[in-house]
């Protein structure tokens, strides 16, 4: 199946874009992208999904074709989850299966925390599990020790005014560093062009940086969730060559779920674009399309 062009919806929380595909009466499948991408990141995966799904792929606030708001507090991941829930409510989506990659995987977890009775199945890709941070101190220390090499961009974006001054006019170079060097396979040119387009929308350097400017406060909140256990069936898919979300993030992960399946793909961070058929294969096996 193919995804639509971006559609727009005004909700009480703002103006949000989304793409959809599949059968209007199919099983609702919500797919949330990460940074620095948009809902387009699911385009190549959708081509390999079996029939029976109704895909809803929102653009998160500050990315894709959704609105850019300057208030940094809007970018706490709990707030971004409420944006997604508001859009789903306006689209009349009740229960749904949920997939998230990168920051979209964090937002997906926040959605599942907020409305667990509506999330039938949960899929997380290449991001930390928020209720696994407190018991995973050795991984956190390893990440901090290597932050100069792999995590410099987070410090860059957390610096007030710097991304706003340096990214405009250099969007292709900026995005190319991540999208073309974090993968084992060539990055799809159609997707790269789409992300350059949306990153040129005024306000994007600031809004996209706000994802990282809220990180430390978000992490303090997640540390209080150590006793949480995800009740819905869950699948974790990771690219085993990811330089940012290292395999050690999986330490203790099974303690965080009642029912967890773990799969790996020969890929870097952006596995859904590097190996879309493999990712779709795991989704087809795990998700319910009947």
Provide the percentage of residues in the chain whose pLDDT is more than 90.
82
pLDDT at 149 over 80: no
Mean of the per-residue pLDDT values for the chain?
Answer: 93
Give me the count of residues in the chain. Answer: 290
**How high is the pLDDT of residue 131?**
93
Mean pLDDT of 146-151: 64
The domains found in the chain, sorted by start residue, are 7-286 (3.40.50.1820)
Q: Which of 157, 185, 169, 189 is nearest to 35 (CA)?
A: 157
Non-local CB neighbours of 278 within 8 Å, separated by 6+ positions: 265, 266, 267, 271
Question: pTM, whole model, 2 decimals?
Answer: 0.96
Report how far residue 57's alpha carbon sits from residue 4's, in angstroms, rounded to the nearest whole number. Answer: 10
Joined tokens for residue 189 = 């040119």
Pick the range with the lowest mean pLDDT from 37-46, 166-175, 179-188: 179-188
| Angle in degrees, CA 250, 253, 254, rounded to 5 | 130
Q: What share of the chain is helix, strand, coil (3-state, %, to 5)?
A: 45, 20, 35
Give 138's pLDDT tier (boundaries 50, 70, 90).
Answer: low
pLDDT at 148 over 60: no
Instruction: Select, from the ranges 65-74, 141-150, 185-194, the one with the highest average predicted confidence (pLDDT).
Output: 65-74
pLDDT digits 0-9 by tens, 208-237: 999 999 999 999 999 899 899 999 999 999
Contact 246, 204 (CB under 8 A): no
Mean pLDDT of 17-38: 97
pLDDT digits 0-9 by tens, 96-105: 999 999 999 9
pLDDT at 271 over 90: yes
Mean pLDDT of 109-129: 98
Cα dist. 53→35, 40, 104, 154, 244 in Å?
A: 25, 17, 20, 35, 31
**How high is the pLDDT of residue 250?**
87
Mean pLDDT of 50-61: 98
**How high is the pLDDT of residue 265?**
96
Give 141's pLDDT tier (boundaries 50, 70, 90).
Answer: low
pLDDT at 144 over 90: no
């Amino acid at each position: 199946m193919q995804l639509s062009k971006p559609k727009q919806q005004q909700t009480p929380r703002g103006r949000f874009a989304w793409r959809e595909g599949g059968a209007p009466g199919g099983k609702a499948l919500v797919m949330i992208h990460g940074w620095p991408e948009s809902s387009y990141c699911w385009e190549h995966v959708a081509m390999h999904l079996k029939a029976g799904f109704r895909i809803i792929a929102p653009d998160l606030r500050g990315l894709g074709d959704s609105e850019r708001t300057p208030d940094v507090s809007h970018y706490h991941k709990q707030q971004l989850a409420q944006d997604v829930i508001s859009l789903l409510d306006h689209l009349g989506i009740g229960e749904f299966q949920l997939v998230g990659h990168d920051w979209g995987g964090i937002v997906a977890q926040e959605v599942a925390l907020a409305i667990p009775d509506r999330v039938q199945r949960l899929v997380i890709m290449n991001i930390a599990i928020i209720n696994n941070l407190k018991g995973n101190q050795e991984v956190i220390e390893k990440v901090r020790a290597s932050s100069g090499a792999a995590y410099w961009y987070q410090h860059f974006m957390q610096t007030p005014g710097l991304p706003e001054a340096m990214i405009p006019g250099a969007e292709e170079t900026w995005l190319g560093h991540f999208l073309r060097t974090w993968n084992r396979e060539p990055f799809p040119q159609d997707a790269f062009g789409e992300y350059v387009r949306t990153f040129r929308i005024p306000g994007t350097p600031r809004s996209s940086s706000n994802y990282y400017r809220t990180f430390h406060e978000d992490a303090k909140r997640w540390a209080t969730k150590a006793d949480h256990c995800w009740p819905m069936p869950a699948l974790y898919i990771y690219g085993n060559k990811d330089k940012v979300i290292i395999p050690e993030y999986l330490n203790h992960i099974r303690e965080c779920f009642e029912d967890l399946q773990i799969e790996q793909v020969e890929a870097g961070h952006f596995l859904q674009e590097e190996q879309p058929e493999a990712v779709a294969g795991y989704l087809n096996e795990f998700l319910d399309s009947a």
